[in-house]
Amino acid sequence: MGFSEVLRAATWSDHASAEDDGYLKSLMAGRLSPEAYGAMVAQHYFAYLALDGAAKALADHPVAGAFVFPELYREEALVRDLTTIFGANWADHIEPSKPTQTLVARINQVADRPGGYIAHHYTRYLGDLSGGQFIRMELQKIYGYGRGGGVDFYYFDIGSLPRFKDEYRRRLDALDLDEAGQQRIIRETKLAYQLNTEVLGDLGRLARAAA
C-alpha cells in the first residue's frame, strides 16, 4: 500500500466526523442565511492565509516544495466570495473565531516541518478538491451564486481535478518516510481534521443562536 492509501485509511474515520458536522448538514439543507454561510467563508479566509503563507515560505524546500501549488492559493477567491456576501466593507464583518485561532496557531507552529505542513495541506486541499466540489454545487443551487464571487473558493483552475488528485497522491507515495515519519503525518492529519471540525462546530453554535 502506498502512503496515500495508508494516510487515507488511517484518517477516514476522522473524515466521517468532519463530514457528519451539523453546520455542514444545515448548510447543505439550505437552512442557513447567506451571512451564516459567509461566516464559514470568513473562517476559511484566516485559515488559508496561514496555510498559503506556509506554502510560500516552503516553495524551495526539497521535500515540502512538492506540495506547494501557487495555482491553489485561495486568498483572491475568498476575497471575491466575501465581497459578494458582505459587500465592499467585508473586512469589517469578519474575525477569526477561537477555534480558527487555534487552527492558525497550529499551522504556524508546524509549518516549518514538511510533514506538519503536508498534513494540513492535504486535509484542506484534497477535501476542497473532493467533497468541496459537491458542496459547491449544492451552494450554487441554494444561493444562486455563479462564478465570480460567492463560491469561487471551490473553483480551481487546474484542469482535470481527478488527474490533479492522482498526481497529489503520487507525490504522497513518493515521500521517503520510515514508519515513524508516516505516523507523525498521520497524527498531524488527525489533529488537522479535529481542529477543522471544531471550527465547524463553533459555526454551528453561532448559526443555532442566530436562528
Residues belonging to the binding site for heme b are 8, 15, 122, 169
d(CA 127, CA 62): 25
Q: Is the CA virtual torsion 196, 40, 25, 99 positive or negative?
A: positive
- Residue closest to ligand HEM (Cβ): 131
Whose Cβ is closer to ligand HEM: residue 58's or residue 103's?
A: 103
What's 88-155 look like in SS3?
A: CCHHHHCCCCHHHHHHHHHHHHHCCCHHHHHHHHHHHHHHHCCHHHHHHHHHHHHHCCCCCCCCHHHC
Minimal distance, residue 197 CB to ligand HEM, in Å: 7
Whose Cβ is closer to ligand HEM: residue 83's or residue 102's?
A: 102
Number of H helices, E strands in the chain: 10, 0
Minimal distance, residue 176 CB to ligand HEM, in Å: 19
Whose Cβ is closer to ligand HEM: residue 118's or residue 135's?
A: 135
Whose Cβ is closer to ligand HEM: residue 8's or residue 184's?
A: 8
Minimal distance, residue 92 CB to ligand HEM, in Å: 27
Minimal distance, residue 130 CB to ligand HEM, in Å: 3
Backbone dihedral region for residue 142 (phi beyond 0: left; psi -120 to 50: alpha; all else: beta)? alpha
The residue ranges that bind ligand HEM (CB under 6 A) are 8, 15, 18-19, 24, 28, 122-123, 126-127, 130-131, 134-135, 165, 193, 196
**Which grid cell is 134?**
459537491
Whose Cβ is closer to ligand HEM: residue 83's or residue 165's?
A: 165
Minimal distance, residue 163 CB to ligand HEM, in Å: 12
d(CA 108, CA 73): 17
Whose Cβ is closer to ligand HEM: residue 17's or residue 148's?
A: 17
DSSP 8-state assignment for residue 1: -
d(CA 16, CA 31): 22
Q: Say how many CA atoms lie within 13 Å of 23 toward its Cβ.
A: 22
Minimal distance, residue 96 CB to ligand HEM, in Å: 16
Where is the binding site, in residues? 8, 15, 122, 169
